[in-house]
């Protein structure tokens, strides 16, 4: 947009006009200089500046001892069969807790994806929605011990686990309505090398890693559903994670596995009612060394929901 005044066709017989042209050219040049300098370095407008900068939630952490330790839990530091679907019932129980379905489930060998290429829970696959089909096979072995042992994951059991509530903060990505908690970048976790919320606490750290692996996470939130507003939730991490909306499973990443993800687009759930409030509940387990990753990204305006009291240091 810059202009060079020497290239403009100035007529000496019309001094007033030539002066205006020259002045205009100088203004254009100055404007171009401003655009290439100060204006280009300015941040784009934040169209979501009316939204809060962060969302604060509470999570219940339950610590257990590893399989092989005195008082250890047979589901932790034991199985390692990759992403396994179908371990749990598709609906929460009357107590709001996940329900054991199968010790073996099915091994997810190829991810199911939506029309945007995002990984989705296989049970939500829809050819009509443009999803791409994945593949699963009958598990080659068990991924957990029994219903009785699984029921200890998300309930306080004296002598088996110890619990503590911790805060988690999702921060809004500037210029967007996306909120993110990422253990890889969060100020409270970045120096811990992963999602290790109870290092040096409760039952203490794993002997050979110096970090407190072997725990579960229960996080309960609420939101208001708004149809066709792009409400999505993505979880990325390891190991097991199950997400329920309104008591129904929407993310199924069971089993001991490496870092992976699934997304739920709330508009896929035909049973949801516009303007209604729903619970979103996350059940996570860190079952095996040597990594612990935990990342949530969402456009939902999540609000805290009631958690049970923790057992603190009493067993």
Q: State whether 23 and 59 are in the same domain.
A: no
User: Are 206 and 128 contained in the same domain?
Assistant: yes
Q: Judge if 97 and 18 occupy the same domain.
A: no
Which residue bears the tokens 């054991």? 100
Kindly state whether residues 32 and 149 are assigned to the same domain: no
Q: Tell me, yes or no, whether 27 and 86 share the same domain.
A: no
Q: Based on the domain organization, do 28 and 109 belong to the same domain?
A: no
Structure tokens, 295: 């990342």
Q: Is residue 309 part of a domain?
A: no
Please state the separation of Cα 98 from the chain's center in Å: 19
Q: Which of 34-48, 135-149, 257-271, 274-288 has the lowest mean pLDDT?
A: 34-48
Q: Which domain, by its residues, includes 28?
A: 5-41
Note whether 60 and 27 are same-domain residues.
no
Q: Is residue 47 included in any domain, yes or no?
A: no
Residue 310 placed within a domain: no
**273-293, pLDDT tens digit by residue?**
999 999 999 999 999 999 999
> Are 120 and 37 within one domain?
no
* Same domain, yes or no: 105 and 229: yes
Q: State the pTM of this model.
A: 0.85
Q: Beta partners for 110?
A: 135
Residue 140: what pLDDT? Answer: 86
Sign of CA dihedral 45, 48, 52, 54: negative
Contact present, 252 and 122 (Cβ < 8 Å): yes
Both 78 and 10 in one domain: the answer is no
260 falls within a domain: yes
User: Residue 84 domain-assigned?
Assistant: yes
Residue 46 falls within a domain, yes or no? no
Residue pLDDT, tens place only, 203-253: 999 988 999 999 999 999 999 999 999 999 999 999 999 999 999 999 999
End-to-end Cα separation, the chain, in angstroms: 73
pLDDT of residue 35 exceeding 80, the answer is: no
SS3 166: strand
Indicate whether 48 belongs to any domain: no
Please tell me whether residues 36 and 66 are part of one structural domain. Answer: no
Please indicate, yes or no, whether residues 26 and 170 belong to a single structural domain of this protein: no
Measured distance CA(106)–CA(82) in Å, rounded: 10
Contacts 24+ apart (CB under 8 A), 122-128: 122/85, 122/252, 123/85, 123/90, 123/249, 123/252, 124/250, 124/264, 124/268, 126/268
Domain count, the chain: 2
Domain assignment present for residue 313? The answer is: no
């Amino acid at each position: 947009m810059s202009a060079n005044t020497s290239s403009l066709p100035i007529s000496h017989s019309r001094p007033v006009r030539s002066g205006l042209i020259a002045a205009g050219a100088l203004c254009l040049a100055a404007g171009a200089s401003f655009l290439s300098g100060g204006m280009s370095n300015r941040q784009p407008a934040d169209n979501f500046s009316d939204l809060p900068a962060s969302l604060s939630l509470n999570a219940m952490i339950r610590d257990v001892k590893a399989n092989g330790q005195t008082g250890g839990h047979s589901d932790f530091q034991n199985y390692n069969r990759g992403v396994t679907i179908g371990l749990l019932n598709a609906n929460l129980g009357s107590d709001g807790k996940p329900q054991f379905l199968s010790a073996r489930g099915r091994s997810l060998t190829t991810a199911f994806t939506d029309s945007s290429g995002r990984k989705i829970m296989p049970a939500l696959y829809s050819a009509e929605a443009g999803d791409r089909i994945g593949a699963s096979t009958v598990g080659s072995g068990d991924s957990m011990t029994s219903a009785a042992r699984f029921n200890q994951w998300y309930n306080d059991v004296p002598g088996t686990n110890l619990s503590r509530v911790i805060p988690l903060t999702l921060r809004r990505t500037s210029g967007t309505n996306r909120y993110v908690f990422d253990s890889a970048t969060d100020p409270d976790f970045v120096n811990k090398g992963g999602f290790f919320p109870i290092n040096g606490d409760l039952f203490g750290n794993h002997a050979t890693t110096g970090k407190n692996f072997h725990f579960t996470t229960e996080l309960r939130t609420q939101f208001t559903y708004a149809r066709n507003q792009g409400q999505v939730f993505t979880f990325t991490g390891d190991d097991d994670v199950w997400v329920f909306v309104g008591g129904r499973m929407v993310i199924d990443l069971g089993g001991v596995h490496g870092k992976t993800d699934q997304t739920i687009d709330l508009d896929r759930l035909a049973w949801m009612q516009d303007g209604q409030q729903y619970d979103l509940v996350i059940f996570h387990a860190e079952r095996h060394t040597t990594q612990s990753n935990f990342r949530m990204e969402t456009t939902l305006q999540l609000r805290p929901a009631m958690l049970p009291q923790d057992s603190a240091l009493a067993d």
